[in-house]
Homo-oligomer: A and B are copies of this chain.
Amino acid sequence: MFKAIVSASTLRDSLDAVSVLVEECKIRLNEEELSIRAVDPANVGMVDLTLEAAAFESYEADGGVIGVNLTRLEEVAGMANADDLIHLELDEETRKLHIECEGLSYTLALIDPDSIRQEPDIPDLDLPAEIVLEGAQLSRGITAADMVSDHIRLRVDESAETFHIEAEGDTDDVDLQLESEDLIDLTAGPADSLFSLDYLKDMNKAIASDAEVRVELGEEFPVKLHYEFAEGLGKVTFMLAPRIQSE
- The chain A residues found within 8 Å of chain B, CB to CB, are 72, 75-76, 79, 103-109, 140-141, 143-144, 147, 171-179, 182
Contacts and interface: CB of A to CB of B under 8 A. Distances in A.
A232 B202 CA distance: 43
Q: How many of these chains are in the complex?
A: 3
A204 B141 CA distance: 33
Given A79-B143, A144-B79, A105 B174 contact: yes
A108 B177 contact: no
A76 B182 contact: no
Contacts of A176: 103-105
A75 B106 contact: no
Contacts of A109: 171-172
A209 B70 CA distance: 29
6 contacts: A79-B147, A104-B144, A104-B175, A105-B177, A106-B144, A109-B172
B103 A182 contact: yes
B104 A174 contact: yes
Nearest to A177: B103
A139 B186 CA distance: 50
A86 to B, nearest CB: 13
